Structure 1
Amino acid sequence: MIAGDRPGNWPYPRWIAHRGAGKLAPENTLAAFRLGAEHGYRMYECDAKLSADGVVFLLHDATLDRTTNGSGIAGEHDWATLSQLDAGRWHSHAFAGEALPTLAAVARHCQAHGHWLNIEIKPTPGTELATGRAVAQLAAQAWARDPERTPLLTSFQPDALRGAKETAPQLPRGLLLDTWWDGWLGVAHSLECVAIVCNHALWDAATVARAREAGLRTLAYTVNDEWAAQRLMDFGLDGIITDRVDLFPPGR
């Protein structure tokens, strides 16, 4: 099945835990995935980038400073260095010693528990194509025996999605948007995206209708208020990404 065929067969849960469990645990760590599961979530969003020696690991920021005890540009360090960092103490003492996970470890965790994943390709600037290719190659291999839970690959960077498409065209892709920039729909079609993932404030009845007419699924980030969630559910959005795993039961 090619990516363009997937909109008619959307397997993913509507509610998606942002970076594992939002803000209740250190983002993009296995501890966050475990805590999200405790709240009933079965799909998670995470951020993936490349180490200097080509290991795909989870981290949102370009630099290490905010969420680890390291410093500097994350993609300039090799995995041997990154793997020794503390990615939990910044959040709270209870998570001290939590490590940065590789995407391979996250894949094993999700498969062991029957969970789904939205992998945001978050390249270090200048590595967009390489990161897209590496993430797609790993994902294609890791989920080869679990096609029912194939991850959704998304990115704000068209070149990252282009790298993913070149490497594993069978994997579903989504274009992330924080504004409706000129030509977004043409780019989404050229990349054979199956979904558009927007800042929740961008969605209204007209934009939802336009995306659907184009054959695209609709997802929103980051939805942490009841009024915003209800508005999106009224529009019938396919995916809602939230930090508030404690507020929104995923079965609603």
Structure 2
Amino acid sequence: MITGHRGAASLAPENTLVSIEQAAKAGVHWVEIDVQLSADDVPMVFHDKTVNRCTNGEGNIADLDLNTLKTLDAGGWFGSEFVGVSIPTLSEALDKCLELDLTLNLELKIYEEKAIIPLVNQVISLIKSKQFPLDRLLISSFKVDALRLCKELMPQIRRGYICEVWDESNAGLLQDLALYSVHIDHQKLDEKTAKSIKTLGVMLKIWTLNDAQQAAKFYALGVDNIITDIPNKF
């Protein structure tokens, strides 16, 4: 199983609706995107703390309101054919995933601890109000506190813990969070680590593998899902 990273980040500007469309066109069933809040607490699909790299604007996402963010060009940096592509709201991305029959891995992108509670509250509220099907959703984060709050507010949502390296002490997290999956940097995954994670009864996902030739090796280790920028190559 393959997940398109930030949509299909090699084929279209990352974390945009067109990127999600390209992932679906590549044939994947899963897509991963990032979410954080605007200054007026609207969940926006964006990875970086600032808009500087992936738009024609400047400043922190958290300091810019929805109207300002929607005026930015989030596609021209990637290619001239994408000029005018905008930063999507999470609401728009949820609709797009349903339209394209995709299952969503939604990463809570948190740059400051104070953002955890408002972000989780807004995301859960939106999911409830849209009645987004929970069998099409996995919420993931590096932040244990964010996943714990998700569990408290809506325990039936699947939760994934993202880590760069795995430590045996992390196993305790599973008891507390009842995780669905563990997402680890593919460069840090070896046979021992994979076995340690899989014996805990969770799904094992790796990020961000862009060499399709290595897919068989990782599947042999027990990896259930590969997150990649180039889903078309897989």
Cα distance in structure 1, aligned partners of 2:126 and 2:118: 12
Cα distance in structure 1, aligned partners of 2:107 and 2:177: 15
Contact 1:50 1:57 in 2 (8 A): yes
1:24-58 residue CA offsets vs partner (Å, 9 max, x unmatched): 10000001011112211221000000111111010
1:187-237 residue CA offsets vs partner (Å, 9 max, x unmatched): 243122111000012222222222122121100000111343221111231
Aligned twin of 2:206: 220
1:95-139 residue CA offsets vs partner (Å, 9 max, x unmatched): 001000011111111112211110000024131232123223322
Instruction: Indicate the larger mover: 207-216 or 77-86.
Output: 207-216
Match of 2:126 among 138, 141, 164: 138
Instruction: Say yes or no: does 1:209 pair with 2:195.
Output: yes
Structure 1: tracts of 5 or more residues without a match: 1-13
Aligned twin of 1:38: 25
Contact 1:43 1:115 in 2 (8 A): yes
Q: TM-score, normalised by structure 1?
A: 0.87
Q: Determine helix, strand or coil for the equivalent of 1:82.
A: helix
Cα drift, residue 63 of structure 1 = 0.6
Contact 1:128 1:160 in 2 (8 A): yes
Match of 2:10 among 20, 23, 34: 23
Cα drift, residue 81 of structure 1 = 1.0
Contact 1:137 1:168 in 2 (8 A): no
Cα drift, residue 143 of structure 1 = 4.1
Instruction: Say yes or no: does 1:87 pair with 2:74.
Output: yes
Q: Determine helix, strand or coil for the equivalent of 2:13.
A: coil
Contact 1:26 1:32 in 2 (8 A): yes
Instruction: Indicate the larger mover: 31-40 or 223-232.
Output: 223-232
Over 3 Å off, 4+ runs: none
Cα distance in structure 1, aligned partners of 2:16 and 2:87: 6
Instruction: Say yes or no: does 1:234 pair with 2:200.
Output: no
Cα distance in structure 2, aligned partners of 1:169 and 1:218: 20
- Pairing of 1:136-175 with structure 2 (within 5 A): 136-144=124-132, 146-149=133-136, 151-175=137-161
Aligned twin of 1:114: 101
Match of 2:170 among 155, 167, 184: 184
Contact 2:209 2:227 in 1 (8 A): yes
Contact 2:2 2:231 in 1 (8 A): no
Instruction: Indicate the larger mover: 86-95 or 173-182.
Output: 173-182
Instruction: Indicate the larger mover: 40-49 or 158-167.
Output: 158-167
Contact 2:51 2:59 in 1 (8 A): yes
Contact 2:51 2:58 in 1 (8 A): yes
Aligned twin of 2:35: 48
Cα distance in structure 1, aligned partners of 2:167 and 2:57: 35
Instruction: Say yes or no: does 1:70 pair with 2:51.
Output: no
Q: Determine helix, strand or coil for the equivalent of 1:100.
A: coil
Aligned twin of 2:89: 102
Cα distance in structure 2, aligned partners of 1:182 and 1:148: 29
Structure 2: tracts of 5 or more residues without a match: none
Cα drift, residue 84 of structure 1 = 1.3
Q: TM-score, normalised by structure 2?
A: 0.93
